[in-house]
Amino acid sequence: MSKLSTTTRTALVTGASSGIGAALARALAREGIEVVLAARREAALHELAATIAHDGGKARVLALDVSDPELTFTKIQAIDDEIGGLDLVVANAGVGQQRWAGKLDWQACSQVIDVNVRGAVATLVAVLPRMIERGRGRLVGISSVAQYRGLPKNASYSASKAFLSTFLESLRVDLRHTGVAVTDVRPGFVDTPLSASIPRKPFEIDADAAARLILASITRRQRVLVFPLPMRILGALLTVMPSAIYDPVVGPSKPSSKG
């Protein structure tokens, strides 16, 4: 029995149909934890559940669209009842969108906000009061190094991840003496469908490597995880860089004619 499985019997992972979510779900199942696989693509979830079962693990499928926060809240509470209490909740589902600010509209922004902000919050707080009553639990949010500064063509995405990291920090401070641990995960570039359209991805790692790092951070009850190391260093530098330097370095020299 692993160190994590002695305190964590059950886990829910959103965005589990691919990328980091799928890799993390497989890693948790290998630890002997029963995993609830949550995402919109139900067929992909059933395929993953079958793979986990074949490898000796346990998994359940939960068809879930986190862009509907009220339904997300209700469904996660229902699965908490069904499974006998969730010990770990991972808000991993996320969407990205690259668009020059001069061509932003509300519809484009709202898609990112609905998933990365409203959906993530609904996921994290759905069973939080129950965890506090039980005196144990773990909440994990998958943010991004994009949260450190507003990146060009990523106004909605950077802002959504900044919100999530700040939200997780406030949760962590409030819950310090409750037995509920909070981890803010800030990945750099990971080889997933979300990053497939990005042309340059320095220091990119694969999803399985990312899952191993996240699993280790959950086991250690780590507060903040930033990876890989070069991105951790870059993030620290970005937080202290004056705007007078940051703006011309990262921003375009002239308005974009493309989206």
Annotation says 157 is catalytic: yes
The predicted-structure confidence for 199-234, as pLDDT tens digits, reads as follows 666 678 889 999 999 999 999 999 999 998 888 898
The predicted-structure confidence for 130-183, as pLDDT tens digits, reads as follows 999 999 999 999 999 999 998 889 999 999 999 999 999 999 999 999 999 999
Which of 57, 75, 120, 157 is the catalytic position? 157
- Helix (H) or strand (E) holding 54, with range, is helix 42-54
Average pLDDT over residues 9-28: 97
Of 20-24, 75-79, 105-109, 197-201, give the lowest mean pLDDT range. Answer: 197-201
DSSP codes of every residue in 189-255:
-EESGGGTT-S--TT-EEHHHHHHHHHHHHHTT-SEEEESHHHHHHHHHHHHS-HHHHHHHHS-SS-
Quote the pTM value. Answer: 0.92
Average pLDDT over residues 246-250: 85
Interior/surface letters 211-242, b for 16+ CB within 10 angstroms, e for the rest: bebbbebbbeebebbbbbeebbebbeebeeee
Show the CA angle centred on residue 30, arms to residues 215 and 9, nearest 5°: 75
